[in-house]
Amino acid sequence: MIGIDWGSSGFRAYRLSDDGSIRERRTATSGIASLTPTDYAAVLQQQIGDWLRDDPAAVVLLSGMVGSRQGWREAAYAECPAGMAELTTQLCPVELGDNRLAHIVPGLSCRNADGTPDVMRGEETQIFGLDLPAQATLCMPGTHSKHVQMRDGRITGFATAMTGEVFALLKSHGLIAAMLAPADSKPEDLDMAAFETGLGLSGQPGGLLHHIFSVRTRRLFNELSAGAAAHYLSGILIGHELRATAWAGKVVIVGTGGLAMRYRKAFAFLGIDTDVAPEDAAATGLYRLGQLAARRMP
Amino acid sequence: MIGIDWGSSGFRAYRLSDDGSIRERRTATSGIASLTPTDYAAVLQQQIGDWLRDDPAAVVLLSGMVGSRQGWREAAYAECPAGMAELTTQLCPVELGDNRLAHIVPGLSCRNADGTPDVMRGEETQIFGLDLPAQATLCMPGTHSKHVQMRDGRITGFATAMTGEVFALLKSHGLIAAMLAPADSKPEDLDMAAFETGLGLSGQPGGLLHHIFSVRTRRLFNELSAGAAAHYLSGILIGHELRATAWAGKVVIVGTGGLAMRYRKAFAFLGIDTDVAPEDAAATGLYRLGQLAARRMP
């Protein structure tokens, strides 16, 4: 089968063996933010036309923002609690040409404890690619971080925090942007002391809207270097994100590289144990959902 | 005397009688954000050259971001607790030409309960233009809101919240911007129901970084109209700002127009009594500081 994780800013395709192992992978920057609905079939042909021709009967499964209102075609949101079964009964077909269909995995929705609705697209497929204990708590860092509750193989609830987006906004626009050294925010070059100072501040009184102003004042009084400022700001934001959730037990961090490392360190600072999930969870999730869907397809 | 409140985005000049009443006022959009240090004297001559010629001996006092590192000349920060005396002993002279001087009122700094430094420039002058009880708590809404403690005519401490700036960032960039009707955020056209829903949400679990995501999800599920979305977002942000401070007694709101009204309604929602301070507090503050300074000048 062929699995594709197609998000706002990227395209990741996996050619999968019958046993779920990855035979080949291709990535492109053709995210849905740069496409209109009529572009998708052509982009697919351009990226993996040879895979499609090689295997005319292959199941093709898509996950991520490709199924959003701004994507190829809007797929439903399955409601929590939901497992793989709820997703594969609501697959959304799209035309590849020659009467061949691909299917988009639905997103997930839930109602938060605060009364607001919440949504995810793509993360559900990553989650079903993991091997988790019966009861698990996940943290999926990103532009829009997800905190997810799992029980018996089903997602029972989740909440989104716009940490990554607010960090990007503050880094690029407005008062604080001028206080940060331009190249000091690569997640892998973490200034641990500044990051932990920010994490510590997030536990103090005053609130997030007040704490972020200290990036300016600490720069003004030379208590913070330009190089350390973005790491300090990151600590403030991630600290506020994580402290707003009541974590129970060990947390599984689903993510890769410097950002996952940064969250792991933040959890450790708060005294919470973590594991980091293996990479390619999306490919495994697409494979498992594809296997289940194939059994249901005519 | 002549008093000038010169901020990042605006210039407000007051020609004051000996009794402190305003004889004439002029405003311009020549904020310090658009000027370099060599421009200031020329802008002053252009805006109020006739006042200066009419009264060659007039004290000229300036307050606001004109005294910042990015302004005409960097004035000191007086340290809290500070009253009018501490400000007038640290006036910063600038040359108007012909050996004539004007003086910039220093800003104020303090150390917050969370250990970070905090600063203001301009608000201190507004505050000293008010007639306050011996002990008072002020809220000064704006791009960077200030929460101020006063005792016996002195400012004992304050904290800044970047509420207005974060609102502007979210309205102009990123995910949520697309969810808001372009013209729906004028403070005077308040959608009270949406604003109060946001204020209510700010008291729920989840944290600010989570709550702001609900602008997207409530729009997605048609639980919020495009016209109401900015008011809802404003309620979330102002709610988080105000709930992060432990208010005691009646709060004096220092501000004008729709924004002051919006804060008054937010405080009422939280069960906190408020008064709204009279306008032109900056002019009165400049007058009072000018009177005190004149007694000290040779």
CB contacts of B208 in chain A (<8 Å) are 207-209, 240, 244
Contact criterion met (CB < 8 Å) for A174 and B169: yes
The pLDDT of residue B105: 97
* ipTM for the assembly: 0.94
Task: Categorize the per-residue pLDDT at B182 as very low, low, confident or very high, splitting at 50, 70 and 90.
Answer: low
Contact criterion met (CB < 8 Å) for B114 and A210: yes
Find residues 183-242 of chain B whose CB sits inside 8 Å of chain A: 201, 204-214, 216-218, 220-221, 223, 237, 240-241
A-to-B residue pairs, Cβ atoms closer than 8 angstroms? 163
Contact criterion met (CB < 8 Å) for A69 and B220: yes
Instruction: Yes or no: say if B135 and B81 are a contact pair by the CB < 8 Å rule.
Output: no
Fold of the domain spanning A2-130+282-296: Nucleotidyltransferase; domain 5 (3.30.420)
B2-111+121-130+285-296 against B163-276: fold identical: yes
Task: Categorize the per-residue pLDDT at B188 as very low, low, confident or very high, splitting at 50, 70 and 90.
Answer: low
- Of A26-35, A147-156, B213-222, which range is least confident? A26-35
- Of A94-98, A257-261, B178-182, B282-286, which range is least confident? B178-182
pLDDT mean over B103-119? 96
Percent of chain A with pLDDT over 70: 97
The pLDDT of residue A12: 95
- Among residues A194, A197, A199, A189, the alpha carbon closest in space to that of A258 is found at A189
The pLDDT of residue B185: 52
From residue A210, give the alpha-carbon distance in Å to each of A215, B36, B158, B217. Answer: 10, 29, 11, 26
Q: Is the pLDDT of residue A157 over 90?
A: yes
Task: Categorize the per-residue pLDDT at B247 as very low, low, confident or very high, splitting at 50, 70 and 90.
Answer: very high
The pLDDT of residue A178: 82
The pLDDT of residue B280: 82
B-chain residue closest to A171, CA distance: B169
Task: Categorize the per-residue pLDDT at B297 as very low, low, confident or very high, splitting at 50, 70 and 90.
Answer: low
- Return the bridge partners of A270, or none: none
- Among residues A70, A66, A82, A83, the alpha carbon closest in space to that of A3 is found at A66
The pLDDT of residue B295: 84
pLDDT mean over B56-83? 95
Contact criterion met (CB < 8 Å) for B244 and A210: yes
Fold of the domain spanning B2-111+121-130+285-296: Nucleotidyltransferase; domain 5 (3.30.420)
Assigned token pair, B185? 């955020």
Percent of chain B with pLDDT over 70: 97
Q: Using CA atoms, how far apart are residues B7 and B107, in angstroms rounded to an integer? A: 12
Chosen for mutation from A8, A211, A213, A233 (greatest number of chain B CBs closer than 10 Å) is: A213
Instruction: Yes or no: say if B32 and B75 are a contact pair by the CB < 8 Å rule.
Output: no
From residue A51, give the alpha-carbon distance in Å to each of A41, A44, A185, A280, A282. Answer: 14, 10, 38, 19, 19
Q: Using CA atoms, how far apart are residues A114 and B138, in angstroms rounded to an integer? A: 30
Q: Which of A161, A207, A223 sits opposite B210 (nearest CB)?
A: A161
How close is the nearest chain B Cα to the Cα of A17, in Å? 37
Instruction: Yes or no: say if A5 and A63 are a contact pair by the CB < 8 Å rule.
Output: yes
Percent of chain B with pLDDT over 90: 82
Q: Is the pLDDT of residue B83 over 90?
A: yes
The pLDDT of residue A297: 66
pLDDT mean over B71-81? 96
Q: Is the pLDDT of residue B129 over 90?
A: yes
The secondary structure of chain B as a DSSP string is -EEEEE-SS-EEEEEE-TTS-EEEEEEES--GGG--GGGHHHHHHHHHHHHHHH-TT--EEEESGGGSTTSSS---EEESSB-HHHHHTT-EEEEEETTEEEEEPPEEEEE-TTS-EEEESSHHHHHTTS---SEEEEEE-STTEEEEEEETTEEEEEEEE-HHHHHHHHHHSHHHHTTS-TTTT-TTS--HHHHHHHHHHTTSTT-HHHHTHHHHHHHHTTSS-HHHHHHHHHHHHHHHHHHTS---S-EEE---HHHHHHHHHHHHHTT--EEE--S-HHHHHHHHHHHHHHHH--
**Residues in CB range of B43: below 8 A, 6 or more apart:** B11, B28, B30, B35
B161 touches chain A (CB under 8 A): yes
Q: Is the pLDDT of residue B193 over 80?
A: yes
Kindly list the domain boundaries of chain A, sorted by start residue. 2-130+282-296, 163-276
Distance from chain centroid for Cα A279:
12
Q: Which residue has the higher pLDDT, B98 or A116?
A: A116
The pLDDT of residue A68: 94
Q: Is the pLDDT of residue B199 over 80?
A: yes
pLDDT in tens, A168-184: 999 998 888 888 876 54
A-chain residue closest to B115, CA distance: A201
The pLDDT of residue B186: 61
Q: Kindly report the average pLDDT of chain A as a whole number.
A: 93
Instruction: Yes or no: say if B235 and B107 are a contact pair by the CB < 8 Å rule.
Output: no
Assigned token pair, B293? 């300074």
Task: Categorize the per-residue pLDDT at A185 as very low, low, confident or very high, splitting at 50, 70 and 90.
Answer: low
Q: Is the pLDDT of residue B190 over 90?
A: no
Q: Which amino acid is at A111?
A: R
Task: Categorize the per-residue pLDDT at A77 as very low, low, confident or very high, splitting at 50, 70 and 90.
Answer: very high
State the greatest distance between any 2 C-alpha atoms of chain A, in Å, as a whole number. 69
How close is the nearest chain A Cα to the Cα of B163, in Å? 6
The pLDDT of residue B177: 87
The pLDDT of residue A188: 62
Token look-up 């299917």 returns: A103
Assigned token pair, A75? 């797929």
Task: Categorize the per-residue pLDDT at A186 as very low, low, confident or very high, splitting at 50, 70 and 90.
Answer: low
The pLDDT of residue B183: 55
A-chain residue closest to B74, CA distance: A220
pLDDT mean over B163-179? 90
pLDDT mean over A47-55? 95
Q: Is the pLDDT of residue A115 over 90?
A: yes
DSSP E strand boundaries for chain A:
2-6, 11-16, 22-28, 60-63, 77-79, 92-97, 100-104, 107-111, 117-120, 135-140, 145-151, 154-161, 251-253, 274-276
Task: Categorize the per-residue pLDDT at B278 as very low, low, confident or very high, splitting at 50, 70 and 90.
Answer: confident
Q: Using CA atoms, how far apart are residues A237 and A242, in angstroms rounded to an integer? A: 9
Q: Is the pLDDT of residue A187 over 80?
A: no
Assigned token pair, B139? 């809220």
CB contacts of A209 in chain B (<8 Å) are 161-163, 166, 208, 237, 240-241, 244
The pLDDT of residue B33: 85
Q: Is the pLDDT of residue A276 over 60?
A: yes
Q: What are phi and psi of A115, to 5 degrees?
A: 95, -10
From residue A258, give the alpha-carbon distance in Å to each of A177, A261, B208. Answer: 21, 5, 24
How close is the nearest chain B Cα to the Cα of A280, in Å? 27
CATH 3.40.50.620 corresponds to the domain A163-276 = no
pLDDT mean over A243-247? 96
